[in-house]
A = this chain, B = another copy of it.
Amino acid sequence: MTSARELRVRSVDGLPEIERGADLGSLIADLGEPREGEIVVVSQKIVSKAEGRIRRLSEVEPGARAREVAAATDKDPALVELALSESSSVVRAEPGVLIVATRGGWVCANAGIDSSNLAGDDLVALLPEDADASARAIRKVIRARTGFAPAVVIADSFGRPWRLGQTDVAIGCAGLAPLDDWRGRADAHGRELAATVIADADQLAAAADLVRDKDSGTPVAIVAGLEGLVTAGDGPGARAIQRPREDDLFR
């Protein structure tokens, strides 16, 4: 029998409105005081803001393809233009639904573009260009400022087939193996676990979202008690979670 384990997730309060160029690593280090072995989960939205990934819909000129897809999906042609420009392929385009594979490799609605928690009716946020790089950069600054190297996860809310509602998943990470592979290891009865790969990074994103009110300015949470998941190196990043297209039965 193992001893009882406990994890704790705390929200980090007091972050200012994030502008382009904001130093997220320093803000998180000072306000959240992450320690060695902890895991910092950062909402995609503030990463996009800091990285200047905010766009004004009125400044977007929809092309012919965007107007066509917008008509098929009943969506704003400017939003569709942005989504297509961020995408490598369209997975589904139906009334009310536009699911794409982003250039970064994520399958999600509207290329992950959304408009909540932005100060302006006309503004939308694109996903970070490379959220694994974003996570590594934040980790590096936290380490330089505190001497600790917590893991960093960048999280966004995605819908999913078959189930209603969104859950937070990881779109970037550093200092964490995003997938925990138990294949070949034995269960409590000494029987081999046939096929259990656990998406820890996604579960961390989901756990962090539980302490976050969607209407509040609490885009950072810190998970303590899972020191065993944190690695010295930055690791492969969340892109390791992407199911290769040729293995995917649902594209």
Contact = CB atoms under 8 A, between A and B. Distances in A.
Given A161-B243, A199-B166, A243-B163, A2 B116 contact: no
The residue among A1, A14, A164 with the most chain B CB atoms within 10 A of its own CB is: A164
A215 B202 contact: no
A9 interface: yes
B8 A7 contact: yes
A187 interface: yes
Nearest to A114: B194
Contact of A107 (B119, B162, B214): B162
Interface string A140-168: 00000000000000000100111111111
Interface string A107-147: 10000001111111100000000000000000000000000
The residue among A92, A203, A243 with the most chain B CB atoms within 10 A of its own CB is: A203
B8 A167 contact: no
Contacts of A50: none
Interface string A188-231: 11010110111110111011011101111110000001100000
Interface of A: 1-14, 92, 94, 97, 99, 106-107, 114-121, 157, 160-169, 178-180, 182, 185-189, 191, 193-194, 196-200, 202-204, 206-207, 209-211, 213-218, 225-226, 240-243, 248-251
